[in-house]
Amino acid sequence: MCIVALAWQVFDDMPLCLISNRDEFYHRAASQLHHWENSPIIAGQDLQSGGTWMGVTAQGRWAIVTNFRDGQDKKQYATSRGHLIQAFLQSAQPPIRFAQDLEKKQCDYAGFNLFIGDRNQAVYMSNRGEAPQVLAKGVFVVSNGLLNENWEKTQHLRKRFTQEFLPMLQQPLIPEHDIVSAVWDLLQDERKIIPDLLPNTGISTEMEHLLSSTFIQSPIYGTRCSNFLTIQLSKMQWFEKTQQGEKSGEVIQIARLFSH
């Protein structure tokens, strides 16, 4: 998962509104959004390592992870970041307690940004420089750097999310189809950042430029799925748009979760 924007406790009747893109190699097999067998988890699934990048439970627990990009980190990690989501969703711990326990073993994982929560509390942490913190109400956007780094990529999505999209949710007569279409428009933004404003994460300038757009595409790597999740006081909805390969030959599927 490479970029996420969420509005936490911004609306009285909607604790969470979240949009995100997951970027991955096209050859890495994954399943679409579904209810996992013999598990409370509702999520897509990485079929290589068995974890997931984003998930929820019917009780309103939710979690999402992005990679922290560090081109200088060549270490091999035995534990998959995708299992962080699985572990939180299967637990009964309050979000902050789970994050504090995870902090004790965070070095077992490659770099990550993690958001976890329920309807009452949301927590952010990174094992590359951000201790667990309970989020105040507001809008939060993170990609593959720390939450407080404010990359140009995240600032661009934040501006569009707050100025174009969130006001739509306050207008009661807008059809659901138009709202979902607006999400896909935000997440399919291919605007790239000029070289002078790119972060320095230890990879080449050419690769930084490729990865600087909200929606990424290349011959072997790119945005694999886009997500729109809302958790309200008594229900939740999740739309997932799956794309396989570059736009020129994409296969698009849209899965919808609706739960009371």
Domain segments of the chain as ranges = 2-257
If you write DSSP's letter for every residue of the chain in order, what string do you get?
Answer: --EEEEEEEEETTEEEEEEEEEEEETTS-EEEEEEPTTSSEEEEEETTTS--SEEEETTS-EEEEEEPP-TT-----SS-THHHHHHHHH--S-HHHHHHHHHTTGGGS-SEEEEEE-SS-EEEEETTTEEEEEPPSEEEEESSS-GGG--HHHHHHHHHIIIIIHHHHT-TTS-HHHHHHHHHHHHT--PPPPGGG----SS-HHHHHHTTSSS-B-SSEEEEEEEEEEE-SS-EEEEEEEE-S-GGG--EEEEEEEE-
pLDDT attached to residue 113: 97
What would the mean pLDDT of 129-157 be, rounded to a whole number? 96
Over range 169-198, report the average pLDDT: 94
* pLDDT tens per residue, range 22-33: 999 999 999 989
Of 3.40.50.10950, 3.90.550.10, 3.60.60.10, 3.40.50.720, which CATH number belongs to 2-257?
A: 3.60.60.10
Q: Residue 255's pLDDT band (boundaries 50, 70, 90)?
A: low
For the segment 56-74, what is each residue's pLDDT rounded down to a tens digit? 999 999 999 999 999 888 8
pLDDT class of 248 with cuts at 50, 70, 90: very low
> pLDDT grade, residue 179 (50/70/90)?
very high
What's the whole-number mean pLDDT along residues 171-179?
Answer: 91
pLDDT, position 254: 65
